[in-house]
Structure 1
């Protein structure tokens, strides 16, 4: 009965402490866990010090021997420690951190478990016995941790999580009264390899602050884990030492603003290593563990920057801002105490917009440039949100016909983006829910300069005939396609290859051949209107075309993406000159193989004269009314262009075969790998009723030898 009495005593004290607290309760503050019904146990096996357990890992996972005497715990192996973490707020996930003493610990440890809400069984401060028999010591990101070896691990050094049903068989809460973890005092400067033994310990770092990039942002976006930076010791231009605070978007405090002052940070000490780069990380147990309210900050900020008071400012409209740049091509600085309240109508969630958003009010829309990626994750720039923008000291400029908001850079000689470290000065969350974004409906012929920057809808448009069969983008750069209405008016659609619907290996999205409505931001470049979509559904054209026809993509009758590596019997490799030959490679693409030819023997000055052919099998076009071939290419280094041929009478010798040169669109960026370009549908009507072969001819000289890569090969016919 003794152990139950101690639990009851603990519960009474916990209840009493709650009774006398004030009535202010944060969303992330919970009642103390109710331990009724949970068994406790004190074990008498062989205790292994934390250091000895860690030492078992020697660049390979170590598995402790199974328990050979289940009914005799005297020979069982145990770690004994105190829980330093709590997952009650959800910021720590499927992990229990322990340390070897309630205060002044000498070691900490990370235990990986496939279980959540472990704080209800093992609350912070609990003494625990961890039975090591059958468990394994491995590493993730070079952080040594305890788990299990199941065979599902991705490397010889990794461990899997302890299955939920086995957690209680390996981790036992002691029957002693839960203690109070006293954080170990450290400095960020102490985060060096010599102190790695403290990983998993609860630590306290004083006189630190979140850097300016984090000011006026939340701990994390909903459902997304992000890194924030804290710093200590100001050198005049930067912090003397920094560390990463890793926050989960599933934490109960994720939507709270980060503290903007200086002060005390309490969290779990950890690290992650990728290659030769080690990142020291901290995990917040509970938001109230952070006491960072002091001003001035180390960087000189004298007061909290996140409060927005419109009573001291003059409201301006988008039209007012645009008028400031009227009649000049130079930038104009806004010097008045003005602000703009506008709705975010387009952001960078899919990557088609990059480092800018569009906002709109009743008078118009405007582009706002910021030197930060993934703006859509910031609560201020979620689609449909109203944002307050302080305008004093920002700049506006007419950029090729479009007025934009931004800042100066390069010693104030160029107009561009507001730096991330400056964003807290200008952008303020209205703390209101997102509203539906309502497009302005226009026809192509109705578009005017006043519509630039607006989210618009144009009904009943289609891609022009010349774009049918092409992919939405060619390569990783921005590609133009043309939309037309049923009276022949046209407008340009601009799409980035970096977008989620751009040129993504393997393959890319082929344009829809039907008719429909387009939803997009209207931009302009030197007098030419341009549309920018934010998701693929913005151009979902499913109705018949303007002439009543239903476009059907040409069916693929033969394809090869070389995914298995090596060439099948469908391909003939012919070497005419030089030692190199066509081969397949997956370099830089994981398991995705492609055809590759390179006439360089390794290094500058080692270019070799080559002529090499890669020839497809014969594909029948008998009985077909139309046919085309398509593929993607990537080039690196200077050299001759790849040539693409077709024939219906291959002799077995390229020199004696009659070839037809095909007008293929090829990659032209020889400065980088990875910018794959689609060839488009290359017409094969000259070979209808015949058996056609496609050939890729590579040539190089002693002066230049490019590397050419080919993938996603398709012959289409119907």
Structure 2
């Protein structure tokens, strides 16, 4: 797997975050200087000596798909987009006229900062010879067919797109409705449009346009069906996490939006060029009256502004006292609580909930939304106002939690607050996040009043039988046991889906070995049927660097041999044996950038396969402990991968005596990417011997999975 990035990258990210959050972007930019950039006039193309044929955008889009254009032809168009704010990336959108366009086009370019060469409104000439029309996501686009995809290489942009030396028009957006976003109007994809009398839906309210580095969809709606409590028509506004306005809060009123019209497959979507193109807070009607409120859904004022008028403040201890029934208790009073977020879902160890705390205690809050941590309201250390009326309390296995009700299988149940309701109850205090200060406790001093608190324990260690294990097994939640030096124990519970690394450098809980020393543990205290348990939010919450209670220093098993297939291919360390079928073991980096892995797959309907991947011999002579570990990823249904070991490989799998190994394998056949650690699989039976590890793949004509293997290690001492 990839290693952690350097400290320099970390410093850069922190600096960038400070710049983003510390500056106000008003989307007013200096005009680019085009004096030194190439331009042409229409006379160049109409000169018969140059031999150009003029096409319209419509004619261009009718060219044979995925075939390079051989004719010397050009198209006149006007730039409808701007990538100046970073919301549009490596794409130029054009339309046939600056006002009332009839055709638009998406141009795919392997270049950025296009606004410096082709600012919005520029008249451009598309020299299309050598380019091709392709379709991606149901949208026709112009590009160049290359091994890296259909994009015009940056060095060739100046060979195919020319700005008119004299003409730059004002693009007048074409007024449309969401209802008009149908296939009959797909000719307008790429045009600048204006949608009136629309608003962002409840899920988007009080959230940023996009979290840093993540592209997200937000929904806008028009019309309102009060009987069905939904919009008559919706569409998607797609926002880049790299846009300069990504962290700005979405406006809460209704009004107009100017954006590029697009779609992906059957979903119609829009890209805004700049945030000032969204007018939903100061929007005026035809009479000049500001009518951003009431919203279409009936909300009468800005839903993101907290007002304590008429509300009674409660402490978390007060809130817990409101729980009075064995089933669930609805909060009916006009109450609110102010509390600090002390744990969130940044690593996915907590899932769809956060913990908040004040001086009187802590509380789990359940919400039906992923990635709560990217929301300003739920960032670690932030203070948040919570309007309590209409929410529910329940003791879940002994822990009082705040949430909502939902219907499952026709039965009403207690659980998460729906995403569409979050804006009604949670409000940003607009204050800077404060350090989260833990309450110090010992295992013996814990009481139920500590449940929900962020707590620090000194001088804990994992019990002997847990040493060498990973935090979790597979994707399941797993218990490990911590103890103090007097022998008192407490459970540490870890979600198997937790990732304590980053998207670039994953560190799955099932692939991360626990620390063997003694030290401090920071965690949320929970309880399950009278048994206390802890939940961490990051690996640094477990800081066990000191010698163990008995003075010993635990040393993880040294790695004797490892292969993460980083170079691609197997080399001489691996033997591949094809027993049946046309397919063989290989390596790939598909979907993983530069990270290669071993892979075996057979097309469904092909002949049955049997293929072996066998490691080199590794000596365990003189070793008293040994184990093998690796990670797997499976997709599609088929026979399970089999894992074996042998001390005497004959050169033929059929005549070799194999010992099956009880490794944990991925079981999620529905998706790629959820790598599961095998755990440390004991090789005690091979101590003092030479060992080889083998992976046996089988498939049938009716069932054929894809199996991937990575991070192979044999350890011993």
Are 1:538 and 2:538 matched, yes or no?
no
Are 1:255 and 2:261 matched, yes or no?
no
Shift of 1:90: 3.5
| Partner residue of 2:106 out of 98, 105, 110 | 110
Shift of 1:529: 1.6
| Partner residue of 2:292 out of 286, 294, 304 | 294
SS of 1:79 mapped into structure 2 = strand
Shift of 1:625: 3.4
Deviates more, 1:671-680 or 1:231-240: 671-680
| Partner residue of 2:140 out of 131, 134, 144 | 144
Deviations 1:86-136 (A, max 9, x none): 334433334332211121111112234455554455433333334445555
Match of 2:377 in 1: 380
Are 1:171 and 2:171 matched, yes or no?
no
The answer on whether the counterparts of 2:399 and 2:526 sit within 8 Å (CA) in structure 1 is: yes
The answer on whether the counterparts of 2:34 and 2:116 sit within 8 Å (CA) in structure 1 is: no
Question: Structure 1 residues 201, 683: closer, same or farther in 2, change over 3 A?
Answer: closer
Distance 2:125 2:634 in 1: 59
Distance 1:623 1:403 in 2: 54
Match of 1:59 in 2: 65
Distance 1:694 1:31 in 2: 61
SS of 1:517 mapped into structure 2 = strand
Question: Structure 1 residues 672, 110: closer, same or farther in 2, change over 3 A?
Answer: closer
Question: Structure 1 residues 456, 161: closer, same or farther in 2, change over 3 A?
Answer: farther
Distance 2:97 2:42 in 1: 17
Match of 1:198 in 2: 188
SS of 1:466 mapped into structure 2 = helix
Question: Structure 1 residues 467, 707: closer, same or farther in 2, change over 3 A?
Answer: farther
Distance 1:34 1:315 in 2: 53
Counterparts of 1:506-585 in structure 2, within 5 Å, are: 508-559=511-562, 584=585
Match of 1:285 in 2: 273
Shift of 1:391: 0.4
| Partner residue of 1:593 out of 574, 591, 598 | 598
The answer on whether the counterparts of 1:354 and 1:373 sit within 8 Å (CA) in structure 2 is: yes
SS of 1:380 mapped into structure 2 = helix
5+ long unaligned stretches in structure 2: 1-22, 46-51, 281-290
Match of 1:162 in 2: 154
CA RMSD, 1 decimal? 4.4
Match of 1:418 in 2: 417
Shift of 1:628: 2.7
Distance 2:634 2:126 in 1: 56
Distance 1:708 1:101 in 2: 50
Shift of 1:458: 2.0
Match of 1:11 in 2: none
SS of 1:424 mapped into structure 2 = helix
| Partner residue of 2:305 out of 282, 304, 307 | 307
Distance 2:101 2:481 in 1: 67
Question: Structure 1 residues 190, 333: closer, same or farther in 2, change over 3 A?
Answer: same
Q: How high is the TM-score relative to the length of structure 2?
A: 0.79
Shift of 1:252: 3.8
SS of 2:444 mapped into structure 1 = helix
The answer on whether the counterparts of 2:518 and 2:545 sit within 8 Å (CA) in structure 1 is: yes
| Partner residue of 2:391 out of 380, 390, 394 | 394
Deviates more, 1:651-660 or 1:484-493: 651-660
Counterparts of 1:598-677 in structure 2, within 5 Å, are: 619-631=618-630, 648=647, 664=662, 666=664
Match of 2:487 in 1: 488
Distance 2:523 2:554 in 1: 23
Distance 1:527 1:286 in 2: 54
Residues matched between the structures, number: 659
Shift of 1:707: 8.3
Counterparts of 1:330-349 in structure 2, within 5 Å, are: 330-349=327-346
Match of 2:448 in 1: 449
Match of 1:73 in 2: none
Deviates more, 1:544-553 or 1:688-697: 688-697
Match of 1:10 in 2: none
Question: Structure 1 residues 684, 125: closer, same or farther in 2, change over 3 A?
Answer: closer
SS of 1:520 mapped into structure 2 = strand
SS of 1:51 mapped into structure 2 = helix
Deviations 1:410-433 (A, max 9, x none): 167210000011111111111222
Question: Structure 1 residues 209, 678: closer, same or farther in 2, change over 3 A?
Answer: closer
SS of 1:213 mapped into structure 2 = coil
SS of 1:189 mapped into structure 2 = helix
Match of 1:715 in 2: 714
Distance 1:260 1:583 in 2: 56
Counterparts of 1:674-713 in structure 2, within 5 Å, are: 678-685=677-684, 687-692=686-691, 711=709
SS of 2:545 mapped into structure 1 = coil
SS of 2:340 mapped into structure 1 = strand
Distance 2:69 2:336 in 1: 62
Match of 2:175 in 1: 185
Shift of 1:643: 8.7
Q: Who wins on radius of gyration, i.e. which is larger? A: 1
Question: Structure 1 residues 457, 35: closer, same or farther in 2, change over 3 A?
Answer: same
